[in-house]
Structure 1
Amino acid sequence: MNMFDLMAHRARVTPDRPALEDLHSGAVYNYRQLNEQAARFATAALTHWDLAEGDRIAFLGHSRAEFFAMLFGCAKAGLILVPLNWRLAQPELEQLMADCGPRALVFGGEFTDSAFGLKATGHVDTLVDLDGTASACRPYDQDLAATDPDLSPHPERDPDTPWYLLYTSGTTGRPKGVIQTFRMMMANYLNIGLAVDLTGKDTLLNVLPLFHTAGINLYSSAVFIAGGCVLVARSFEPDQAMDVLANRATIFFGVPAVYQAILEHPAFSGERLRNVRSWGCGGAPLALPVARRFVEQGIRVRTGMGMTETGPTVFLLDEADVLTKIGSVGRPQLLTEVRIVGTDGREVARGESGELMIRGPNITPGYWNRPDATREAIRPDGWLHSGDVARCDEDGCYYIVDRWKDMFISGGENVYPAEVERVLVEHPAISEVAVIGVPDGKWGEVGKAFICLRGDTAAPGTDALYSFCRERLAGYKVPKYFQFVDELPRNALGKVTKQILRQD
Structure 2
Amino acid sequence: MTDNNLYTLFESRFPADLTQIAFEGPEVPTVSFGDLQDKSAQMANLLTSLGAVAGDRVAVQTGKSVEAVILYLACLRAGLVYLPLNTAYKAAEIEYFLGDATPAIVVCDPASITEIEAIAKKCGVRQVLSLDETGRGSLTEKADQQDSSLETVARTGDDLAAILYTSGTTGRSKGAMLTHDNLASNARTLHQHWGFTEGDVLLHALPIFHVHGLFVALHCAFLNGSKVILLRKFDPAVIIANLPKSTVFMGVPTFYVRLLAEAAFTKDVCRNMRLFTAGSAPLLEETFNAFRERTGHVILERYGMTEAGMITSNPYDGERKAGTVGFPLDNEVRIADEEGNVLADGEIGILEIKGPNVFKGYWQMPEKTASEFRPDGFFITGDMTRKGEDGYYRIVGRSKDLIISGGYNVYPKEIESFIDEMPGVEESAVVGRPHPDFGEAVVAFVVTDGSVSNLKEEDVIAFIKEKLANFKVPKQVYIVEDLPRNTMGKVQKNQLRDRAVADQD
**Normalising TM by the smaller chain, what interval?**
0.7 to 0.9
Q: Name the structure 2 match of 1:108.
A: 109
Task: Kindly provide the CA deviation profile for residues 163-188 of structure 1, in whole angstroms up to 9, marking residues without a partner as x.
Answer: 11111134663111111222122211
Task: Tell me the SS of whatever aligns to 1:405.
Answer: coil
1:254 Cα deviation (Å)? 0.7
Counting only pairs closer than 5 Å after superposition, residues 129-144 of structure 1 correspond to structure 2 as 129-131=130-132, 139-144=138-143
Query: Match of 2:204, as an amino acid?
Result: N
Q: Name the structure 1 match of 2:21.
A: 18
Task: Tell me the SS of whatever aligns to 2:65.
Answer: coil
Task: Kindly provide the CA deviation profile for residues 273-327 of structure 1, in whole angstroms up to 9, marking residues without a partner as x.
Answer: 22221010011111111111111120211111001110x11111136533xx321
Q: Name the structure 2 match of 1:263.
A: 260
> How many residue pairs end up in the alignment?
430
1:480 Cα deviation (Å)? 6.1
1:11 Cα deviation (Å)? 5.0
Task: Kindly provide the CA deviation profile for residues 46-72 of structure 1, in whole angstroms up to 9, marking residues without a partner as x.
Answer: 11x222222111111111111221122
1:105 Cα deviation (Å)? 1.3
CA distance in 1, matches of 2:252, 2:170: 20
Tell me which of 242, 245, 257 is aligned to 1:244: 242
Return the TM-score normalized by structure 2: 0.78
Matched, 1:74 2:67: no
Tell me which of 163, 166, 173 is aligned to 1:165: 163
CA distance in 2, matches of 1:331, 1:449: 34
Tell me which of 343, 347, 355 is aligned to 2:350: 355
1:220 Cα deviation (Å)? 0.8
Q: Is 1:351–1:391's contact at 8 Å kept on the other side of the alignment?
A: yes
CA distance in 2, matches of 1:424, 1:105: 37
1:485 Cα deviation (Å)? 5.2
Matched, 1:366 2:361: yes
Q: Name the structure 1 match of 2:314.
A: 317
Classify 1:337/1:228 alpha carbon distance in 2 versus 1 (closer, same or farther; 3 Å). same
1:386 Cα deviation (Å)? 0.3
Classify 1:400/1:262 alpha carbon distance in 2 versus 1 (closer, same or farther; 3 Å). same
CA distance in 2, matches of 1:446, 1:234: 37
Query: Match of 1:140, as an amino acid?
Result: L
Return the TM-score normalized by structure 1: 0.78
Matched, 1:395 2:386: no
Task: Kindly provide the CA deviation profile for residues 457-498 of structure 1, in whole angstroms up to 9, marking residues without a partner as x.
Answer: xxxxxxxxxxxxxxxxxxxxxx46634459xxxxxxxxxxxx
Q: Is 2:327–2:391's contact at 8 Å kept on the other side of the alignment?
A: yes
1:362 Cα deviation (Å)? 0.4
Classify 1:14/1:361 alpha carbon distance in 2 versus 1 (closer, same or farther; 3 Å). farther
Q: Name the structure 2 match of 1:196.
A: 194
Q: Name the structure 2 match of 1:330.
A: 326
Q: Name the structure 2 match of 1:459.
A: none
Matched, 1:275 2:276: no
Higher RCO (C-alpha 8 Å, min separation 6): 2
Counting only pairs closer than 5 Å after superposition, residues 19-168 of structure 1 correspond to structure 2 as 19-21=22-24, 23-24=26-27, 26-47=28-49, 49-131=50-132, 139-152=138-151, 154-168=152-166
1:158 Cα deviation (Å)? 0.9
CA distance in 2, matches of 1:264, 1:170: 35
Q: Name the structure 2 match of 1:6.
A: 9
Q: Name the structure 2 match of 1:294.
A: 291
Tell me which of 484, 489, 502 is aligned to 1:439: 484
CA distance in 1, matches of 2:351, 2:385: 6
Matched, 1:224 2:222: yes
1:380 Cα deviation (Å)? 4.6
Task: Kindly provide the CA deviation profile for residues 427-458 of structure 1, in whole angstroms up to 9, marking residues without a partner as x.
Answer: xx9995679997367998474586xxxxxxxx
Classify 1:28/1:360 alpha carbon distance in 2 versus 1 (closer, same or farther; 3 Å). same
CA distance in 2, matches of 1:17, 1:220: 16
Tell me which of 479, 482, 485 is aligned to 2:501: 482
Task: Tell me the SS of whatever aligns to 2:256.
Answer: helix
Q: Is 1:360–1:382's contact at 8 Å kept on the other side of the alignment?
A: no
Tell me which of 209, 212, 220 is aligned to 1:211: 209
Select between 137-146 and 262-271 the one with higher mean Cα deviation. Answer: 137-146
Q: Name the structure 2 match of 1:495.
A: none
Q: Is 1:132–1:141's contact at 8 Å kept on the other side of the alignment?
A: no
CA distance in 1, matches of 2:299, 2:186: 19
Q: Is 2:333–2:354's contact at 8 Å kept on the other side of the alignment?
A: yes
CA distance in 2, matches of 1:233, 1:435: 28
CA distance in 2, matches of 1:43, 1:91: 31
Classify 1:50/1:268 alpha carbon distance in 2 versus 1 (closer, same or farther; 3 Å). same
CA distance in 2, matches of 1:344, 1:300: 38
CA distance in 1, matches of 2:25, 2:167: 26
CA distance in 1, matches of 2:500, 2:237: 38
1:263 Cα deviation (Å)? 0.9
Q: Is 2:201–2:245's contact at 8 Å kept on the other side of the alignment?
A: yes
| CA RMSD after TM alignment | 3.1
Query: Match of 2:131, as an amino acid?
Result: L
Matched, 1:340 2:335: yes
Q: Is 1:449–1:483's contact at 8 Å kept on the other side of the alignment?
A: no
Classify 1:113/1:446 alpha carbon distance in 2 versus 1 (closer, same or farther; 3 Å). closer
Query: Match of 1:363, as an amino acid?
Result: V
Task: Kindly provide the CA deviation profile for residues 242-265 of structure 1, in whole angstroms up to 9, marking residues without a partner as x.
Answer: 2112x3221011111111111112
Identity %: 30
Mind listing any 5+ residue stretches in structure 1 that lack a counterpart? Answer: 408-420, 451-478, 487-504
